Amino acid sequence: MGWKTFMLRIEAPSPEEGYEILVERFTKSHGDRDTAGTIKTCEYGECKGSFPKYLLYNESKASAIIKGLDGGSEGVADFIDLGHTQWRIQHLMRELKRYTAKTFMKYAVCDDNGEILEPKEDYLFADKIPADEKAIEAMKAGITKVARVFRTQVVLSGNQEMSVYTWSAPQYRQTKEKPTRGITENSRVESLHQYIFFGKAKT
């Protein structure tokens, strides 16, 4: 058993999310078993240096920091924040879905007036035997004085509307200040940073 140094770059809104993305990538490409020498064998570490804004010069500074730390710690994925790169913007989107009525043939347990006992979903069956058993159970429980079981056409879903909320595809802006144009209370604006994760992974 030994140790293999690694150095990985990721753009993310936070170092925690960046670490999770890298681990997930290795899981997809290597699987859960073949993790030797990868970041998956390392726990999330700490920041060893940070810069407010990404500049190409920051990379040489980061390399010097990593070299001074002898490539990093064993079993730990430390990181350096190379700085803000751009803004990621997403908007909350609403999609309205409509459903038409559907009817099914079911065995229903009804009272003496032919009304299905409530709650209806508990008294509708695809087969007659469980419907008969439920009718006997309802009689014993005093839910109804007379229980009738017969096959009938039931509307299980009528005309309905359902709202589905999702985040839009991300847009990116490379502006100095946080974007405000076109931003509403239903928008998400994230500052993306470049991170370098480094350390020594168990082989």
Q: Is 76 exposed, middle or buried (0-12, 13-18, 19+ CB in 10 A)?
A: middle
Given a cut of 80, is residue 149 above it in pLDDT? yes
Burial of 79 (0-12, 13-18, 19+ CB in 10 A): buried
User: Is the full-model pTM beyond 0.95?
Assistant: no
Residue 49, pLDDT above cutoff 70: yes
Question: What torsion, rounded to 10 degrees, do the Cα atoms 116, 120, 126, 130 define?
Answer: -80
Residue 104 is predicted with a pLDDT of 83
Cα 50 to Cα 56, 58, 137: the distances in Å are 14, 9, 69
- Spatial neighbors of 188 by CB under 8 A, at least 6 apart, are 89, 90, 91, 92, 167
Q: Which two tokens stand for residue 168?
A: 């839009």
pLDDT confidence of residue 1 = 66
pLDDT at position 158: 61
Phi, psi of 86, deg, nearest 5:
-165, 175
In tens, the pLDDT along 151-170 reads 998 876 666 677 888 999 99
